[in-house]
Amino acid sequence: MITALNTQFGINGQLTFVEDASGLVVAQIDNALCRASLCLQGAHLMSWQPESQTVPVVWLSRDTKPAAGKSIRGGAPVCWPWFGAHASDSAFPGHGFARTVPWRVIESGTEPDGATRLTLRLVPSDKTRMQWPHDCNLDLTVIAGETLRMELSTENTGASDFVIGEALHTYLQIGDIGAVRVTGLEGCEYWDKVGGSNLRRQDGDIVFSGETDRVYVNTAAQCVIHDDKLKRRIYIAKSGSLSTVVWTPWIEKANKMGDMGQPDGWREMVCIESVNALENVVTVAAGARHTMIVEYRAESV
């Protein structure tokens, strides 16, 4: 499989497919603009570091142990076809099944600026059809260069409409959770998931002093992480998404999760997730296509 992948989709010296220690296939990208890696299971981008940055922009837990059927802690998990718990069946996986099932490569290439492009498609199975009995194609296109662009596209190839929730649940690397602030969501309403689910409105910049788990709704805004320790800003611009989730587990939840990188890996990440959830779930009409696009850029200050 590795040889066939490299023959058909490899790009010499820039895009190489390898098998990792757990037997999972990983696409390694190393071009003039960045280095990145993506696990074919879940189409899970695990790392991205542009040449201009001495510290990765996408965070990956040092405790994560990729394994077949298991979600990876960090990177950019693809949450689909629902976000959070399944609406009616608690036996179904949180954040959907897309991030733990096989995807296959359908296209690769080099962009005019030298960025590497890779497109993957989710491979349906009896298991996924049991949870999601709709005819559709789910594709993720990743363009890795000085910026990181991710396009999650749902094509409804069936005869009836369906509704999806989705997210690119991206973990961004920061110097310290106590030394960052997030702008862009001022004035937006959000569901505060800490201690229940209360609707509140964002007042000013977002700063962190405890577990934070917020679903901002009805917003297409770009977010910016201002990192005073790493002296950089990370811009997260999106289209086709009306929800944004801001999440840090803080110490207690991080220790319970056990895979956030002991002792305090949780301090070096914050999730700014581009989402369609709650009142922003998306109806994809029969024969139609819905695409959510996110572009990440880091700028030293």
Q: With binding defined as CB under 6 A, does residue 84 bind ligand TA6?
A: yes
Q: What are phi and psi of 255, to 5 degrees?
A: -65, -35
Return the residue of 45, 56, 75, 95 that touches ligand TA6, per CB under 6 A. 95
Is 190 a binder of ligand TA6 (CB under 6 A)? no
Q: Which is nearer to ligand TA6, 95 or 267 (CB)?
A: 95
Exposed/middle/buried for 301, CB within 10 Å: 0-12, 13-18, 19+? exposed
- Chain position carrying tokens 């993506």: 38
Q: What b/e string do you get for 172-197 counting C-beta neighbours within 10 Å, with b at 16 or more?
A: bbbbebeebebebbeebebbebeeee
Choose among 154, 135, 121, 146: nearest CA to 240: 154
Q: Does 166 bind ligand TA6 (CB under 6 A)?
A: no
The catalytically annotated residue of 268, 273, 279, 290 is 273
Binding-site member from 139, 166, 227, 273 for ligand TA6 (CB under 6 A): 273
Q: Note whether 178 binds ligand TA6 by CB under 6 A.
A: no
Question: Catalytic residue at 189?
Answer: no
Is residue 267 near ligand TA6 by the rule CB under 6 A? no
Residue among 84 and 158 whose Cβ is closer to ligand TA6: 84
User: With respect to ligand TA6, which residue has the nearer C-beta, 71 or 280?
Assistant: 71
* Helix, strand, or coil (residue 212): strand
Instruction: Please identify, using beta-carbon distances, which residue of 85 and 288 lies nearer to ligand TA6.
Output: 85
Q: Which is nearer to ligand TA6, 29 or 152 (CB)?
A: 152
Catalytic residue at 169?
Answer: yes
Residue (of 240, 266, 226, 10) closest to 116 by Cα position: 10
Phi and psi at 42, nearest 5°, equal 80, 0
Q: Name which of 5 and 140 has its Cβ closer to ligand TA6.
A: 140
- Is residue 214 within the footprint of ligand TA6 (CB under 6 A)? no
- Residue 108 contacts by C-beta under 8 Å, 6 or more apart in sequence? 9, 10, 11, 15, 116, 117, 118, 119
Binding mask 101-140 for ligand TA6 (x = CB under 6 A): ----------------------------------------
Binding residues for ligand TA6, rule CB under 6 A, total: 11
Q: Which of 51, 169, 268, 290 is catalytic?
A: 169
Site for ligand TA6 in 229-258 (CB under 6 A): 245, 247
Q: How far is the CB of 172 from ligand TA6 (least distance, A)?
A: 13
Q: List the one residue out of 288, 289, 284, 290 whose CA is nearest residue 161.
A: 284
Give SS3 for 9.
Answer: helix
d(C-alpha 231, C-alpha 233), whole Å: 7
In one-letter notation, the amino acid at residue 21 is: A
Interface residues toward ligand TA6, by CB under 6 A: 71, 84, 94-95, 169, 193, 213, 245, 247, 271, 273
Q: Which residues are catalytic?
A: 169, 273
